[in-house]
Amino acid sequence: PELEIYADDVKCAHGATVGQMDEDSLFYLRTRGLDDAHARRVLTYAFAAEAIDRIDLLPLRKQARAALMARLPGGELL
């Protein structure tokens, strides 16, 4: 991503996380009746929701959560 900053007093950063799904968590969700794809969606949502929950502005937090649900395959099932 490219950031264009037009103010001198703004500090910005970009980050990304890549990793494997926790096999124990996947196993737990599958033993509770979720298929593999749904279990992966739940874990993906939970990971992203941790960041979204730190947004202080409620309207922005709601918008971010809606964007996550729209982009997550099968998000309407969560």
Pair of tokens at residue 26 = 């996947």
| Count, residues in the chain | 78
- What per-residue confidence (pLDDT) applies to 6? 74
- CA atoms of 18 and 71, how far apart (whole Å): 18
Q: Tell me the mean pLDDT per 10 residues along the chain, length 78.
A: 69 72 94 93 91 94 92 74
